[in-house]
């Protein structure tokens, strides 16, 4: 991005300086505060990316910059430019406005309600209007005028429109003309590079035929964007499309495969879905990957004042009114899956996407990549019935109060000592949790009993895991994950079984004390992330030690037996993540490890642990602020 853009741009929604996020489908740059509102609207309204900390295909970023510099924002604020709007008291937000309700109400009106977009004269037949607009779009994409096409799309033109007389789509026209930025815009609005025209040719064919090789390669990337994004989320690599590799699927050793009846049934149901339902499920998982990755970037980039003073959590996928309530509830439930469970779902989808595209027959049970979920009963596309007791409120409203209530329920569901990390996971971790989950119920009960005894002997009054120094963190993790599955089997009240009989304490520390410790933790995490960015691996251990000290001091503020389930859950996540961070950082020490340490893999896990710590600290600030204000 040019120096001029970095130094002089203002937020499209409030005119604040130096916006650091982009709304890709709106063609605008936005500040942190406004971005928090965009995220709560959902990707169907605004697709946000960080300008520096999110990977960008160069031409996609160029497309957004071009739109922004050529007045795309005036499309969304058309009527506000009319002097009459000032007379009526209508105005856009400004940097000094509060996020809630001022900025939030303006942004919802601007993008969700399209309250300021130029309206065409009404006609009796809306379909004719949409068809006319789509035909105009079809003609316009052969030029480089992006803002004209965005304006047509904002009015209802269809990016995937098939022209009945011309026998092709706008993307065919843009590809033939070599208009790569138009192709990016059309793809953002749903155009498919694999669509055939009346001659049986795709946009990729026309790009190659016209010698537009960069465009042809980019169209292939767009065609595989969903599976590429899922693969990159898991292993940080993308397929080599130029050489004919279109899928990457992490492979597992046969000994780690789950041959249980649950896994077989879940896999069979996934494979038996119609292509339409499978595509819906894959798109929902894609949106959840985007939510988790954006949340990770969000936590890593916010300064402590924003982190601890604004309610900017997006706890699950926002409601899309175009989807059924069943599908929306299923999308929300994806947030409940911990990193390992979610990774198995992603791998199953990648495997079946490859099978479906290649027309391969169903795989045998030996080739099964397990779906370690309560998939049969919980996954909306796999199970045709709703649960009797849904985990979230009915998805009729996206108002803040409803989001807060649903977030509270989501946090309670996540409280069963699970590893709540949202970042990418490695195959090694995948295999570790697999070995824990296939253990018998008797073994799990033994682990739970041993863990309770150990906790009572070492920290008898503690309700969260201050793991003794001589405890192997990996053993702790396996036990914890085994316990999670056992508790899921037993029901929601299992977390209260065999707890120490210490009276719960309702007293929480002051919000000021928690904020101060959170600032200290955040400062140390930012130092660690800078070291990771600059490949200063020898800084990992001292950084992790400082983080561990700050976490210990933070945890010491709270009662040894907090009354609140959410407080206990957040403290568990905070302390166990700090111990896991220390364990990961120690892997950078030179030694006789066999095989040698993969420093990139370690860095990935270090960053993941840091995100988990930041998330837990943020949760504790939110909880104490709310409780102390009551």
Point out the least confidently predicted range of 181-185, 242-246, 603-607.
603-607
Q: How far is CA 563 from the centre of its chain?
A: 31
Tell me the CA distances in angstroms from 21 to 48, 317, 355, 432, one per residue in order. Answer: 7, 19, 37, 37
Read off the pLDDT of each residue in 71-77 and give the average, rounded to a whole number: 94
Match domain 511-629 to its CATH number in 1.10.274.10, 3.40.50.920, 3.30.1330.10, 1.20.120.330: 1.20.120.330
Confidence bin at 197 (pLDDT 50/70/90): very high
Give the pLDDT score at 194: 94
Read off the pLDDT of each residue in 467-473 and give the average, rounded to a whole number: 36
CATH architecture of 127-243: Alpha Horseshoe (1.25)
Checking if the pLDDT of 451 tops 50, the result is no
- Three-state helix/strand/coil letters over 136-186: HHHHHCCCCCHHHHHHHHHHCCCCCCCCCCCCCCHHHHHHHCCCHHHHHHH
Please tell me which of 112-126, 468-482, 567-581 the model is most confident about, judged by mean pLDDT.
Answer: 567-581
Q: Which residues contact 79 (CB under 8 A, 6 or more apart)?
A: 85, 90, 115, 116, 117, 118
Give the pLDDT score at 367: 36
Give the pLDDT score at 137: 97
Rounded Cα distance, 156 and 130, in Å: 6
Checking if the pLDDT of 583 tops 80, the result is yes
Confidence bin at 88 (pLDDT 50/70/90): low
Give the pLDDT score at 3: 37
pTM of this structure: 0.62
The domain limits of the chain are 7-112, 127-243, 261-358, 511-629
Read off the pLDDT of each residue in 498-515 and give the average, rounded to a whole number: 69
Checking if the pLDDT of 150 tops 90, the result is yes
Rounded Cα distance, 45 and 320, in Å: 9
Q: What share of the chain is helix, strand, coil (3-state, %, to 5)?
A: 60, 0, 40
Give the pLDDT score at 44: 95
Confidence bin at 122 (pLDDT 50/70/90): low
Q: Which of 220, 337, 216, 229 is nearest to 286 (CA)?
A: 229
Give the residue with greater pLDDT, 284 vs 495. 284
Residue with tokens 């795309």: 72
Confidence bin at 237 (pLDDT 50/70/90): confident
Rounded Cα distance, 329 and 395, in Å: 7
Residue 313 sits at the vertex; the CA angle it makes with 311 and 317, to the nearest 5 degrees, is 140
Q: Which of 248, 252, 230 is nearest to 239 (CA)?
A: 248
Q: Which of 615, 612, 424, 603 is nearest to 531 (CA)?
A: 603
126: exposed, middle or buried (C-beta count within 10 Å: 0-12, 13-18, 19+)? exposed
Read off the pLDDT of each residue in 18-41 and give the average, rounded to a whole number: 95
Give the pLDDT score at 394: 35
For residue 234, the cross-strand partners are none
Checking if the pLDDT of 86 tops 70, the result is no
Q: Which of 520, 522, 542, 521 is nearest to 531 (CA)?
A: 542
Give the pLDDT score at 214: 97
Segment 499-504 long-range contacts (CB within 8 Å, at least 24 positions apart):
499/463, 500/456, 500/460, 500/461, 500/463, 500/561, 502/461, 502/463, 502/560, 502/561, 503/561, 504/561, 504/562, 504/563
DSSP string, 397-419: ---HHHHHHHHHHHHHHTTTT--
- Other beta carbons within 10 angstroms of residue 339's beta carbon come to 21
Give the pLDDT score at 345: 85
Q: Residue 28 is inside which H or E element, if any?
A: strand 28-30
Give the residue with greater pLDDT, 193 vs 467. 193
Checking if the pLDDT of 283 tops 50, the result is yes
Do 397 and 108 touch, CB atoms closer than 8 A? no
Sheet holding 28-30, edge to edge: 28-30, 21-23, 48-50
Q: Give per-residue pLDDT as tens, 317-369.
A: 999 999 999 999 999 999 988 777 788 888 889 999 999 998 877 644 333 33
Give the pLDDT score at 604: 76
Provide the CATH number for the domain formed by 7-112 in this structure: 1.10.220.150
Tell me the CA distances in angstroms from 612 to 229, 300, 579, 617, one per residue in order. Answer: 22, 11, 12, 9
Q: Which residues contact 108 (CB under 8 A, 6 or more apart)?
A: 37, 41
- Does residue 50 sit in helix, strand or coil? strand
What value does the mean pLDDT of the chain take? 75
Checking if the pLDDT of 437 tops 70, the result is no
Give the residue with greater pLDDT, 389 vs 104. 104
Tell me the CA distances in angstroms from 469 to 229, 500, 580, 582, 583, one per residue in order. Answer: 38, 22, 12, 11, 11
Q: Give per-residue pLDDT as tens, 204-222.
A: 999 999 999 999 999 999 9
Q: Give per-residue pLDDT as tens, 373-419.
A: 333 233 333 333 333 333 333 343 333 333 333 333 333 333 323 33
Give the residue with greater pLDDT, 389 vs 451. 451
Give the residue with greater pLDDT, 110 vs 453. 110
Same fold, 7-112 and 127-243: no
Helix 58-69 to helix 180-188 angle (10° resolution) is 90
Q: Give per-residue pLDDT as tens, 522-548.
A: 888 888 888 887 788 888 899 999 999
User: Positive or negative, the Cα torsion across 129, 132, 137, 138?
Assistant: positive
Q: Residue 348 is inside which H or E element, if any?
A: helix 339-358
Give the pLDDT score at 524: 87
Checking if the pLDDT of 605 tops 60, the result is yes
Q: Give per-residue pLDDT as tens, 588-604.
A: 887 655 455 677 777 77
Checking if the pLDDT of 587 tops 50, the result is yes
Point out the least confidently predicted range of 38-42, 44-48, 500-504.
500-504
Q: Which two tokens stand for residue 27?
A: 């063609």
C-alpha R_g of the chain: 26
Half-sphere exposure of 598 (CA within 13 A, CB side): 9
The share of the chain scoring above pLDDT 90, in percent, equals: 40
Q: Which of 24, 18, 4, 111 is nearest to 64 (CA)?
A: 24
Q: Which of 197, 190, 160 is nearest to 176 (CA)?
A: 197
Rounded Cα distance, 468 and 174, in Å: 63
Give the residue with greater pLDDT, 493 vs 147. 147
Burial 265-301 (b: 16+ CB within 10 A, else e): ebbebbbebeeebbebbbebbbbbbbbbbbbbbbbbb
Give the pLDDT score at 311: 54
């Amino acid at each position: 991005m040019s120096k001029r853009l970095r130094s002089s741009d203002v937020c499209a929604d409030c005119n604040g300086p130096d916006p650091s996020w982009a709304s890709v489908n709106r063609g605008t740059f936005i500040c942190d505060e406004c971005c928090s509102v965009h995220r709560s609207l959902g990707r169907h309204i605004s697709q946000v990316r960080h300008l520096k900390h999110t990977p960008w295909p160069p031409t996609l970023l160029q497309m957004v910059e071009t739109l922004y510099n050529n007045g795309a924002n005036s499309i969304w604020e058309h009527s506000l430019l009319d002097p009459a709007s000032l007379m009526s008291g209508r105005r856009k937000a400004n940097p000094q406005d509060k996020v809630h309700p001022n900025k939030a109400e303006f942004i919802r009106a601007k993008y969700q309600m399209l309250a300021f977009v130029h309206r065409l004269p009404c006609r009796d037949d809306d379909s004719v209007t949409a068809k006319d607009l789509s035909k105009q779009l079809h003609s316009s994409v052969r030029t480089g005028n992006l803002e004209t096409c965005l304006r047509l799309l904002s009015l209802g033109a269809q990016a995937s429109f098939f022209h009945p007389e011309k026998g092709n789509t706008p993307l065919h026209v843009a590809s033939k003309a070599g208009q790569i930025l138009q192709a990016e815009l059309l793809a953002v609005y749903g155009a498919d590079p694999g669509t055939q025209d009346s001659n049986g040719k795709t946009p990729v064919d026309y790009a190659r035929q016209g010698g537009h090789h960069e465009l042809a390669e980019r169209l292939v990337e767009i065609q595989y964007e969903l599976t590429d994004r899922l693969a990159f989320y898991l292993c940080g690599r993308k397929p080599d499309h130029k050489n004919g590799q279109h899928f990457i699927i992490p492979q597992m050793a046969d000994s780690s495969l789950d041959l249980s009846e649950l896994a077989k049934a879940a896999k069979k149901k996934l494979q038996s879905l119609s292509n339409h339902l499978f595509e819906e499920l894959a798109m929902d998982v894609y949106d959840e990957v985007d939510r988790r990755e954006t949340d990770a970037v969000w936590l890593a980039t916010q300064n402590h004042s924003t982190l601890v003073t604004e309610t900017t959590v997006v706890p699950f996928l926002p409601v899309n009114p175009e989807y059924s309530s069943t599908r929306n509830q299923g999308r929300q439930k994806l947030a409940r899956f911990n990193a390992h469970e979610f990774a198995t779902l992603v791998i199953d989808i990648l495997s079946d996407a490859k099978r479906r595209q290649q027309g391969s027959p169903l795989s045998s049970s030996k080739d099964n990549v397990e779906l370690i979920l309560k998939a049969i009963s919980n996954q909306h596309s796999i199970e045709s019935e709703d649960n009797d007791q849904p985990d979230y409120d009915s998805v009729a409203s996206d108002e803040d109060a409803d989001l807060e209530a649903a977030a509270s329920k989501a946090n309670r569901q996540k409280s069963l000592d699970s590893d709540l990390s949202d970042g990418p996971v490695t195959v090694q971790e995948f295999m570790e949790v697999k070995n824990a989950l296939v253990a018998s119920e008797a073994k799990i009960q033994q682990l739970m009993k041993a863990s309770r005894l150990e906790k009572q002997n070492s920290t008898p009054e503690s309700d969260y895991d201050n793991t003794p120094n001589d405890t192997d963190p990996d053993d702790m993790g396996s036990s914890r994950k085994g316990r999670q599955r056992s508790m899921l089997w037993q029901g929601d009240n299992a977390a209260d079984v065999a707890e120490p009989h210490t009276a719960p304490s309702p007293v929480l520390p002051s919000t000021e004390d928690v904020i101060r410790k959170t600032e200290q933790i955040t400062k140390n995490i930012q130092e660690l992330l800078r070291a990771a960015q600059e490949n200063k691996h020898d800084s990992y251990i001292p950084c992790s030690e400082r983080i561990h000290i700050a976490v210990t001091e933070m945890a010491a503020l709270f009662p040894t037996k907090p009354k609140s389930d959410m407080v206990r859950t957040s403290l568990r996540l905070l302390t166990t993540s700090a111990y896991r961070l220390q364990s990961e950082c120690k892997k950078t020490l030179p030694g006789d490890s066999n095989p040698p340490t993969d420093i990139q893999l370690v860095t990935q896990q270090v960053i993941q642990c840091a995100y988990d710590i930041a998330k837990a600290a943020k949760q504790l600030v939110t909880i104490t602020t709310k409780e102390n204000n009551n």
